[in-house]
Amino acid sequence: MSLSLFDLTGKRALVTGSSQGIGLALAKGLAAAGASIVLNGRDPAKLSEAAAQCGKPVDVLPFDVTDHAAARAAIDQFEAETGPIDILVNNAGMQHRGPLEEFPADAFERLLRTNISSVFNVGQAAARHMIARRRGKIINIASVQTALARPSIAPYTATKGAVGNLTKGMATDWAKYGLQCNAIAPGYFDTPLNAALVNDPAFTEWLEKRTPAGRWGKVEELVGACIFLSSEASTFVNGHILYVDGGITVSL
């Protein structure tokens, strides 16, 4: 009985930014738990490559998450032609590093669109259908930078702080309709987004000393949290930010 709470058979999950990295790992994990998967990205070729890695047939839904009208049109059409999206994982994101006093304005705006506007755009589009059904799961991918800052990524930190607060706002507005809206906040994981840091021996040495677990995270270690927040095991969990970070946010 207890294990059945985590069974996602019969559920469909849309994972944005899922052609690589954390998004693809979460899509594979949700598929292994029984969910039908919808991969999203802007590059149809990369999505096709990702789909081939999922081990079972998946749907692909290419659209630009930073375009509000495109996100709504794509989700409305998918719901009408294929079926309901029960789980949304808002994973699409980007990074741009540089001193705050010299940070390019266009890069700042691009971070806002990709990391926070996308969560609003896709979240609202999916929630309209979930509200009508009075059930649904929304999981936003936040970051250790939702709580902490470090040099050269102040705008990224601002966007991930906003993801955390938008998650709380989603829960506050939509829990009454039967939705659970939560966030996963990864620590430092070995992903394409972090390639420059992974390849920097000095940073890796610092990270290993700074993190109680003493290492980089593996993307597969985010899957359990995602399954939990996607499943019946979390029906009274709302507005929560679940840090999966090897303990870095709780130690000095």
Cα–Cα–Cα angle for 213, 215, 221, rounded to 5 degrees: 80
State the Rg of the chain over Cα: 17
Helix (H) or strand (E) run with residue 12 in it: strand 12-15
Query: What's the CA gap between 163 and 183, in Å, rounded?
Result: 8
Distances (CA, A) of 40 to 123, 140, 141, 204: 14, 15, 15, 31
From the candidates 156, 177, 188, 243, give the one annotated as an active-site residue: 156
Residue type at position 246? G
3-state secondary structure of 213: coil
Chain centre distance of CA 196: 21
3-state secondary structure of 196: helix
Which one-letter DSSP state was computed for residue 42? S
Q: What are phi and psi of 32, to 5 degrees?
A: -65, -25
**Residue 177 is among the residues annotated as catalytic for this protein:** no
CA proximity to 179, closest of 164, 193, 167:
167
Which residues belong to the active site?
156
